[in-house]
Amino acid sequence: MRELTLTRDNALIDPSLQIWGWEIPLYLFLGGLVAGMMIISGYFVFKGRHKEVSCSCVALPLLGIVLLSIGMLALFLDLDHKLYAWRMYTTFQVASPMSWGAWILILVYPALLAGMLVRLPAFLTARLPWLKTYSAKLTASEGATRTVGVVNMLLGAMLGIYTGILLSAFGARPLWNSPVLGLLFLISGLSTAAAFVHLVSRDRHESMMLAKADNGFLAAELALLTLFLIGMVSSTRVHSEAAQLILTGSFAPVFWVFVVGLGILIPLFVQTLAMRGRIAHTPVAPMLVIAGGLILRFVIVYAGQVSHWTKTALTK
């Protein structure tokens, strides 16, 4: 029988199992952020806001390509057999979340490129003037433009949910065994993307609109976190013990202070006051939201790896 190590949280670790480092949490964070960007920019394109020069949908698709590529690089660095990664695209396994994710990521790139063509950034038209021809053909049809917006929203939602389902498919880790995780990561990605647009947008109306939307996303994220933890605590003994890792265990200080407190409650409070005109808008709140979204992934990934089903092995 494998030797199991008991931690101070009374959780078991199998030393033979690989422990993920920073690459997977970063990949999940960037994937969720890009998913949120796709939904936001797709919505703006669908509503026709791409016709306004100050619309963030001009920059978000290209930025999404860059950030997603960084996330894919982080994922690639985590692979043990890097030379065989291409084999993921020689088949499609309906029951495999990894297979779904691989193909979703492939579809996301052309969707982002199409979103970029809807309204090309000025520096691209200056350096690559031939892109204007394709952009003109695409924007000549309002139906085609709106379709690009819808496709970006749909693929963004699929990408955001996939980042959570990727973890929940690992049955050996009870902390990840929750149907809420996919929706939680999607809403968290939307929240971080809304916070980012609110932070960098040059359009005051758009910035205010995203701040208000982010308040809704933060409230939804807090509700989903509550449902996630209630579901864990009220489930089997193994799930309840896994939840204690972030409720009262070694991950609790980071979770309560940086994820819940600084990442959700304080930005929600500050942005609510700003929306009511009580205080001036500050970049601190959206920056805290973005940092909280990143730390959430690290907490869930790391705590999930510590959680284990084999606690009963000690009693046998």
pLDDT of residue 51: 85
More confident residue, 34 or 52: 34
Task: Show the domains of the chain with their CATH numbers.
Answer: 5-315 (1.20.1630.10)
pTM, full prediction? 0.89
pLDDT of residue 19: 57
Angle at the Cα of 149 from the Cα atoms of 137 and 115, rounded to 5 degrees: 55
Residue 80 reports pLDDT greater than 60 = yes
Residue 313 reports pLDDT greater than 60 = no
Rounded CA-CA distance 187/263 in Å is 13
Contact in structure between 232 and 240 (CB atoms under 8 Å): yes
What are the φ/ψ torsions at residue 12 (nearest 5 degrees)? -100, 140
Mean pLDDT of 220-239: 94
Distances (CA, A) of 31 to 27, 36, 71, 203: 6, 9, 7, 25
Distances (CA, A) of 311 to 5, 129, 176, 249: 10, 63, 16, 16
Residue 29 reports pLDDT greater than 50 = yes
Residue 311 reports pLDDT greater than 70 = no
Q: Kindly report, residue by residue over 42-57, the tens digit of the pLDDT.
A: 999 999 888 888 888 8
Distances (CA, A) of 169 to 19, 177, 229, 232, 279: 17, 7, 18, 16, 44
Contact in structure between 262 and 26 (CB atoms under 8 Å): no
Mean pLDDT of 253-261: 97
Contact in structure between 298 and 30 (CB atoms under 8 Å): no
